[in-house]
Amino acid sequence: MTDTPFRPFETLLDRDAALTLLRKTLSGADDGELFLERRRSEMVVFDDGRIKTASYDASEGFGLRAVRGETAGYAHSTEISEQSLKRAAETARLAVGGGGGTLAEAPQGTNRKLYTDDNPITGVAFDVKLDTLREIDAYARALDPRVVQVSASMSASLQEVEILRPEGASVSDARPMVRLNVSIIVEQNGRRESGTAGGGGRLGLTGLMDRNHWEGLAREALRIAVVNLSAVSAPAGVMDVALGAGWPGILLHEAIGHGLEGDFNRKDQSAFAGLMGQRIAAPGVTVLDDGTIPDRRGSITVDDEGTPSAKNTLIEDGILVGYMQDRQNARLMGVAATGNGRRESYAHTPMPRMTNTYMLGGDVAPGDIVSDVKDGVYAVGFGGGQVDITNGKFVFSCTEAYRVKNGVVGDPVKGATLIGDGATALTNIRAIGDDMALDPGMGNCGKAGQWVPVGVGQPTLLIGGLTVGGSAA
């Protein structure tokens, strides 16, 4: 397995020839670039006492884009060669038509580095990875006699990109990613429940494989599973909901974040379109998208158009102050790109996407927030969710939640879903905790068939008037 850096213009393409072809393709266009990528990934799954999956994948290719107005021509190939690039240019050039565009200014450069560029796959020997997963399995089973199944998985990848612009500038980025997950199933009196814990980021594997770290994951997965063993049916109705800090920010990401992406607002498809400068949230609510946090899952040194990532304020003290922009939508809306142009791979066009999206903390103690709930739910873990961008309506399932009456946290509940719309939820935030936390590094975001890694975060929140879907009378 090679660890040679990805240098396509040294080994696969003549840089001058590629630049000449790129400039010819973009003659009369507004924007465009040549995006080259190499990706390597490994996953090992130890499930129910045996190796279930051990996979290694490698891919490389390029994408060539030409942008004219609202139209983008895009062609990609798994073969990085001058011949393939010439064929791709014929397709991408169709978007330019008769030309007449003015080439946009190139992104500003950056010397910032937010993460290591070491290959996390080769950093730890494969047999050491297997031994660690076996140890996790044995440790988890020994924690509690009710444990009947354990699944531990470890993944690592390295994405290397090179972006060539028609001005002649190029930017490269090596993006590592690792993750370690532990899932446990427990059984008691014929009832089975599960719990999962894990996370990672743009790091090497060594820290995740530290015994103190994975023992904590195993204990947390067991705790959640045991909590679910005693869960009762969730209530149903409109009630106050306290949300825990950290991962529950996924609700913020889906219900609000997508609605603040530039393309949805330019096309007037978002519930927040046309509301710039207006109050859209309760006082004290400040939401940021920040791709510059070192080592975080959603962070990027530069986006997939070559624009440096940024710390962008979207909502400030309840007022809408910004959208997330790629270069095309920013130009069409007459604003600056924000470093949010992202793509899943060389086979996809960039679009405005979130990085690490979170709400800043307030000044209320989390315990005081929960004690203010007279009749509601305290939700600290979430699973899947859906949102309609046009109206902001969302549905989220809770993986760990508790009934609260008169400020007292009671039984855990199962089958709870939270239903509402982002715009209303923002204005119904009644308390903001002082415990803002980011998630442990496990978020993936889907949009238009493309998936990218993201981060979320928030403090403990109290939201009034959410609909809780449950089966209890």
What is the model's pLDDT at position 388?
A: 86
Asked whether the predicted pLDDT for residue 76 surpasses 80, the reply is: yes
Q: What is the pLDDT of residues 6-32, one digit of tens each?
A: 999 999 999 999 999 999 999 999 999
Give the residues across from 51 on adjacent strands.
46
Question: In the block, which residue shows the tokens 């947390």?
Answer: 220
Say if CB 37 and CB 160 are below 8 A apart. yes
- In the predicted structure, residue 471 carries a pLDDT above the cut 80: no
User: Using only C-alpha atoms, what is the Rg of the chain?
Assistant: 24
pLDDT confidence of 472, banded at 50, 70, 90? low
Alpha-carbon distance values, 382 to 260, 323, 379, 386, 462 (Å): 22, 26, 8, 12, 16
Q: Which residue matches tokens 């290397």?
A: 160
- Provide the pLDDT for residue 67: 97
- Angle, helices 126-143 vs 211-229, to 10°: value is 40
Per-residue pLDDT band for 56 (boundaries 50, 70, 90) equals very high
From first CA to last CA, the distance across the chain in angstroms is 59
* Mean pLDDT computed over 184-193: 97
Mean pLDDT value across the chain: 95
CA 16 centroid distance within chain: 36
Q: Is the model more confident about 255 or about 225?
A: 225
Angle subtended at Cα 68 by Cα 62 and Cα 71, rounded to the nearest 5 degrees: 80
- Which of 327, 321, 372 is closest to 30 using CA atoms? 327
* CA angle, residues 302, 308, 313, in degrees to nearest 5: 115
Q: From CA 3, how far away is CA 60, in angstroms rounded?
A: 14
Give me the DSSP letters along 293-330: STT-TT--SB-TTSPBP-EEEEEETTEE---B--HHHH
pTM tops 0.85: yes
Task: Tell me the CB-side half-sphere exposure of residue 74, using CA atoms within 13 A.
Answer: 13
State the CB neighbour count (10 A cutoff) for residue 70.
12
Phi, psi dihedrals of residue 211, rounded to the nearest 5°:
-60, -40
pLDDT at 389: 83
Place of tokens 């899932």: 183
pLDDT over 70, % of the chain: 99
Per residue in 120-135, pLDDT (tens digit) is: 999 999 999 999 999 9
Specify the range with the lowest mean pLDDT, choosing from 313-327, 349-363, 377-391, 397-411: 377-391
The superfamily in CATH containing domain 8-229 is: PmbA/TldD superfamily (3.30.2290.10)
Q: Is the pLDDT assigned to residue 2 strictly greater than 60?
A: no
pLDDT digits (tens, 9 = 90+) for 401-438: 999 999 999 999 999 999 999 999 999 999 999 999 99
Biggest distance spanned by C-alpha atoms of the chain: 73
pLDDT tens digits for range 204-222: 999 999 999 999 999 999 9
- The DSSP line for 166-214 is TTS-EEEEEEEEEEEEEEEEEEETTEEEEEEEEEEESS-STTTTSHHHH
Cα→Cα distances 430→117, 149, 288, Å: 43, 41, 19
Q: Which segments of the chain belong to CATH 3.30.2290.10?
A: 8-229
| Per-residue pLDDT reduced to its tens digit, 369-407 | 999 999 999 999 998 778 888 888 999 899 999 999 999
The per-residue pLDDT for 383 is: 84
Spatial distance between the Cα atoms of 447 and 258, rounded to a whole number of angstroms: 9
What's the pLDDT at 134? Answer: 97
State residue 40's pLDDT score.
97
